[in-house]
Amino acid sequence: MCGIAGIFRIGHPPDLGPLDAMRDAQRHRGPDEARSQHLGHGGLATVRLAIVDPAGGSQPLSDRSGRFWLAMNGEIYNHARLREQARARGVRFRTTCDTEVVAELVAEFGFRSALERLEGMFGLAVWDARDEVLWVARDRMGEKPLHFTTLPDGTLLFSSELKGILSHPEVSRELDPQALGAYLLFEFVPTPRCIYRGIERLEPGCLLRLSRRGLERERYWSLPQPTGGSGGSRSVEDWAKLIAESFEDSISTRREADVPVGVVLSGGLDSTAVLALADRGRRERSHTFTVTMPDQPSFDESAPARLLAGHYDTIHQEIPLRAGDLPGVLDAIEAGLDEPLGDSSLVATWWLYQHVHQAGFKAVLSGDGGDELLGGYPTYLAHRWAHLARPWRRPLGRLARRLPVSHDNVSLDYKIKRMVAGLDHPIQRRNQVWMGSFLPSELPASLAGDPWAEVDAHAQRLAGLDPECAAMALDQRLYMGDGVLVKVDRASQANSVEVRTPFLNHGFVQLAASVPAGMKIHGQTTKWVWRRAVRHILPPALLDRPKKGFGTPVGPWLRGPLAFLLDDLAERVEAWLPPAQVQGLIREHQQGTANHRRRLWTLIILGRWLHGPWGPGGR
C-alpha cells in the first residue's frame, strides 16, 4: 500500500521541484519508504507501506527493459498467479512484489490489456519512455483514490490524495460552491467533483492517457446493473452456493501478505463471514478489533463481536470510544482531512485504525460493501413500498411530528420523518433524501445550484429497474463509492493501515449483480441469499440480527458532554450558511425538539476543514 504522485508535460519537461513535497504530504500512506524518479518528461514519486515483499518491493520501478516505469498505490491480489503464468512464458522477476508483475504485464501485453488481467485495488501510473506516453488508472470499484489537475501551461499533476495536489505551489484553493452544496446534501463530494475548482477525482474504472496529442480519458470497466425479478431458473440454494464459492476465493487472495493480517469486526453479518472464512485453515489465532460505545448502548455492537471472537477463539481487542476521546480524534481529522467528509462514523473508524496501528498491524480484512451489493439496507424494503405509502404522506407526516424525539442510533422518529420527506420524489432523489444530510430546500441559493444534478445524472440508466435495484445501483456508485470507501481509505491510511475488502472483488461484484433482486430481498428479509450462503459457517445467534449501522453517538454527545463543540459553529461557517439558520439547528437539537445530529456534524466537519491546514486559507 502506498501513495503516489506525478508531474508530467510531454515535449516540454516540467519543473519537478515540487514533486517531493507532493509525495511527502502523503507520507502517512507509506511511512516505510519515500522515493522519486525523474523521467525526462516528468517524474513519479511514491511513499510505501511495505506489505508484500517488504525488502524488495521499492518503487517507482521499471520492467526489465527499462522502457516502462510504474508507481502504484494498492494491492494486486492475483499477483502470485500472474507471476507464475509469466514465468511459464519465460519472464524473469527480480522481486516478489505485485508492482513488478504489473510492470512486466504492461511490457508484454500493453497497458489496457494488462489492466484487464488485474484483480485488486489500485491507483497506478505507467510512463512509457519509448513512446512518450503516460497512463494513469484507478481500480474498478474506486477503493483507492486518485486526484488530478492540469496547470495553465499544460502540466499534468496527479496524486493519491488531494493534499498531494495542494502541495504544488501553482495550485489555487478556489472553493467550488456547487461542490460545497453537494457536500451538505450528501455528506461527501461526489466524484468526479472536488471541493476545489479545477481539480478532479478520476472515476472508478477509468484511465487517463497523456501524450503529445494531449490528455484523453477512457472508461475501461463499468459497474454492472443489479438484476431484477424473483428467481429465474436457479433456486436460492444454487445462487447461495455460487456466492459462497466466489466469496471464499476472494477471501483467500486477500489473506495473502508478508505481514500479519487482522480482521475488523462490527458485529454484523458481513464482517462475521469475513472472519469465519479468513480463520479457516489457519494454524495461528486470528487477531480481531472492534470499537465499543460503553456509554451509548444503541450504538454499541461489542456483545455480538465478543460472541463471535469467542466462537472462533480470536485474540480480540475491544477499543472503547467515549465522549472524552472525540475532541482529540476530531483534531486529528482536521489535521489530516483534505476534503470535508461528514459521515460521523468517520470518528469511530479513525479511532479503530489508530488502535489497529498501535497494535502493530499494517493490514486488516473488513466487511465493507456487502450491504450495497446484496441488499442489506432497510431502505431497499422502503423503496419497494414507497408507491403505496405516497398517498398517506400527510397523515404519516403528522404522526412523525407527534413522535417523541429520540437521539438513539437511527431512531424510529428519524426514519419516519426522512421517509415522509422523500415520498414525493422519484427514486434517485428519494434515495438521496433518505441517505443524506441537508435537504435542497435548506440550502442558500449560492450553494444549491441544481441540487439534484448528481443523482439525476443516473436517472436514465436506472430506467426500468425494480426500485430496490435502482437504489442498490445508486448506493454502489455514490454512498459506497464516494462515502464509505473514501471514509475507510482516509481513516486507515492516516494511521498507516491497509484495508482489504473481499466483497469488492470485481468478479464477486459481477456475480452479485446477476443475482435476482427477489433472492436478495425476500419478503421482509434483507440479504436473503447471503444469509443462505453463510448459514453453515456462522453461529446461529448472529444470522438473524437486524441491520445496525456503524455510527458514532454524536447526537447525544452534542446535547451533553460535547455541547461546547457547537459554541463557535455559526461563526465558522457563516461565509456559506446564515448564522441564524445554524443557531436554530443548535437550539432545537440541544432543547430536544429535533435531532439534527447529521446536519450539525456535517457543519462541524465543514467548519474545521474551512479553517484547517487543507482548507482555502491553510497554506
Per the prediction, the chain carries an average pLDDT of 91
Reported as half-sphere exposure (CB side, CA atoms, 13 A), residue 596 has a value of 25
- For residue 547, pLDDT over 60 is answered with no
What is the SS3 assignment for 211?
strand
What is the SS3 assignment for 133?
strand
> Which pLDDT score is estimated for 544?
67
Residue 357: partners with Cβ closer than 8 Å, 6 or more residues away: 495, 496, 497
Residue 316: partners with Cβ closer than 8 Å, 6 or more residues away: 287, 288, 289, 290, 305, 306, 309, 310
Closest C-alpha among 84, 502, 509 to residue 255: 502
> Which pLDDT score is estimated for 44?
98
Q: Cell numbers at residue 619, please?
A: 497554506
Segment (H or E) for 320: strand 315-320
Segment (H or E) for 46: strand 42-48
- For residue 409, pLDDT over 60 is answered with no
How many residues are there in the chain? 619
- Give the DSSP letter string of 421-436: HHTTS-HHHHHHHHH-
Beta bridge partners of 530: none
The percent of residues in the chain predicted with pLDDT above 90, rounded, is: 72
Closest C-alpha among 231, 226, 240, 233 to residue 528: 240
Q: Beta-carbon neighbour count of residue 180 at 10 Å?
A: 22
Q: Which long-range contacts (CB under 8 A, 24 or more apart) does 100-104 make?
A: 100/57, 100/61, 100/63, 101/76, 102/70, 102/72, 102/76, 102/126, 103/61, 103/62, 103/63, 103/68, 103/69, 103/70, 104/63, 104/64
Residue whose C-alpha cell is 462515502: 483
> Which pLDDT score is estimated for 1?
63
Q: For the residues 433-448, what does the mean pLDDT come to?
A: 86
Buried b (16+ CB within 10 A) or exposed e, 438-448: bbbebbeeebb
Q: Are 308 and 279 in contact (CB under 8 A)?
A: no
307 vs 130: CA distance, rounded Å? 58
Segment (H or E) for 306: helix 302-311
Beta bridge partners of 287: 315
Question: Using only C-alpha atoms, what is the Rg of the chain?
Answer: 24
What confidence tens digit (pLDDT) does each residue in 247-294 have? 999 999 999 999 999 999 987 889 989 998 887 767 788 999 999 988
405 band by pLDDT with thresholds 50, 70 and 90: low
What confidence tens digit (pLDDT) does each residue in 22-74 have? 999 999 999 999 999 999 899 999 999 999 999 888 999 999 999 999 999 99
- For residue 580, pLDDT over 90 is answered with yes
**Nearest-5° Cα angle at 361, 28 to 504:** 80
> What's the Cα-to-Cα distance from 342 to each of 61, 350, 483, 533, 566, rounded to whole Å?
37, 13, 9, 34, 15
Domains of the chain in start order, with CATH, are: 2-219 (3.60.20.10), 236-374+484-543 (3.40.50.620)
Residue 388: partners with Cβ closer than 8 Å, 6 or more residues away: none
Closest C-alpha among 446, 434, 478 to residue 459: 478
Q: Cell numbers at residue 343, please?
A: 459521515
Q: Are 70 and 126 in contact (CB under 8 A)?
A: yes
What confidence tens digit (pLDDT) does each residue in 134-160 have? 999 999 999 999 999 999 999 999 999
* Residue that wins the pLDDT comparison between 223 and 445: 223
* Residue that wins the pLDDT comparison between 196 and 410: 196
- Give the DSSP letter string of 416-483: HHHHHHHTTS-HHHHHHHHH-SS-GGGS-HHHHSSTTHHHHTTHHHHTT--HHHHHHHHIIIIIIIII
Q: Cell numbers at residue 214, please?
A: 494531449
